[in-house]
Structure 1
Amino acid sequence: MDFKKESNRFYKQDETGKLLAEVIYEPNGEQQVLLTHTFVDSSLRGQGVAEQLVDCVVAEMKAEGKKIVPVCSFAVALFKRKPDKYKDVIAN
């Protein structure tokens, strides 16, 4: 799925501009970000969209050499469920 990027956010809208999915992260010092919010519209749930959004943040933070602190409940659960996938980007 293709997402748009805007400062500290990746998101998808439908053709009318309705928000369908987003992930928001905030700087936390120079070397970390807080992953604070994920949202997926009910029309897209169950398709792995939230994980794809998190993976956009992961790819960006890897490129910038930064770590992620999962804060929102989805990100916390995802990082616990797939520790090997995210071990090199999660903040200690």
Structure 2
Amino acid sequence: MDIHEEKTASGGRYFTNVDGHEAEMTYSRASANLVIIDHTGVPDALRGKGVGQALAEHAVEAAREGGWKIIPLCPFFKALSIRHGEWQDVLQ
């Protein structure tokens, strides 16, 4: 699954298109070293296919590569972060 990023002045989003449907995870940049994951949107047609999980994993890897921390405000991302102890290094 190809995941892309769109950046804006105050944040951005990770997104992918699967079977003609777009899913996204949005974030706000609180500082150069801190992002807030604030929303995950996965259409009903893609639920249960691991698309949200893939977006979350991409965000975690981006944080590791970029050297920043994540504040998980999005309920979906927050629930995943509780289940994935190996993500604790990037969570604030």
TM-score normalised to structure 2 length: 0.85
Measured in 2, the distance between the counterparts of 1:14 and 1:48 equals: 11
Q: Is the CA contact 1:11–1:19 (under 8 Å) kept in the aligned structure 2?
A: no
1:88 partner letter: D
1:14 positional shift: 5.9
Measured in 2, the distance between the counterparts of 1:46 and 1:14 equals: 13
Residues 1:14 and 1:51: Cα distance change in structure 2 (over 3 Å): closer
Measured in 2, the distance between the counterparts of 1:49 and 1:24 equals: 14
Q: SS in structure 2 opposite 1:23?
A: strand
1:19 positional shift: 5.1
Q: Which moved more, 1:4-13 or 1:57-66?
A: 4-13
Q: Which residue of 1 aligns with 2:88?
A: 87
Structure 2 segments unaligned to the other structure (5+ residues): none
2:4 partner letter: K
Measured in 2, the distance between the counterparts of 1:47 and 1:20 equals: 13
1:30 positional shift: 2.5
Measured in 1, the distance between the counterparts of 2:90 and 2:3 equals: 21
2:75 partner letter: S
Q: What do you get for the CA RMSD once the two structures are aligned?
A: 1.6
Higher strand share: 2
Q: Which residue of 2 aligns with 1:27?
A: 29
Aligned length: 88
2:87 partner letter: Y
Q: Which residue of 1 aligns with 2:60?
A: 58
Percent same amino acid at aligned positions? 33
TM-score normalised to structure 1 length: 0.85
Matching residue within 26, 29, 39 for 2:41: 39
